Amino acid sequence: MTKTFATQLLAALLLAPLAATAAPLSDQLASYAAAAKSADPAFVGFSAARGKTLHTQAFALGKPDTPACTSCHGPDPRGAGKTPTGKVIEPVALSATPGRYADPAKVEKWFKRNCNEVLGRACTPLEKGDWLTFVSGQ
């Protein structure tokens, strides 16, 4: 086996989990984009910067012990988080947990739960798309 072939093989094996999640995540983002465009015809795309703000901002209407996403997930999406009861949460960054967003039903389940706990309401398609864009770039 040549060094070049071995390097290419290793890269392919390391990147395979990321490629496997690209289609479901891009399908989810496309669905959120269609919904965001329907809600606001001026919608032009998701923003990682807005997603980061959503991740770090404190909200007053959610549960008092979880005023921000960072309450459980921490400020660095690449690091593990902890629930208020101490249960470890895998990192939300796609680079740290490549298969995390492969199941759209699970993604929706967690958005429903976490948005209600943190924001005190359901997240909009724009917020979901922005947040996923932020964590997928981390």
Domain that holds residue 18: 3-136
Instruction: State the maximum Cα–Cα separation within the chain, in Å, rounded to a whole number.
Output: 59
Strand partners, 88: 82
What burial class does residue 23 get, using C-beta atoms within 10 Å of its C-beta: 0-12 exposed, 13-18 middle, 19+ buried? Answer: exposed
Check residue 67 and report its DSSP letter.
S
Asked whether the whole model's pTM tops 0.85, one would answer no
CATH number of the domain that residue 42 is part of: 1.10.760.10
What pLDDT is stored for residue 6 in this prediction? Answer: 45
- Dihedral, CA atoms, 124, 47, 114, 106, nearest 10 degrees? 90
What pLDDT is stored for residue 15 in this prediction? Answer: 44
pLDDT in tens, 24-36: 899 999 999 999 9
The per-residue pLDDT of the chain, averaged, comes to 88
Residue 11: pLDDT band by 50, 70, 90 thresholds? very low
What pLDDT is stored for residue 24 in this prediction? Answer: 87
pLDDT at 20 over 50: no
What pLDDT is stored for residue 70 in this prediction? Answer: 97
pLDDT in tens, 71-125: 999 999 999 999 999 999 999 999 999 999 999 999 999 999 999 999 999 999 9
pLDDT at 14 over 50: no
CA 132 to chain centre: 4
Total domains present in the chain: 1
Please state, in angstroms and rounded to a whole number, the distance separating the CA atoms of residues 49 and 69. 15
What pLDDT is stored for residue 5 in this prediction? Answer: 47
pLDDT at 137 over 80: yes
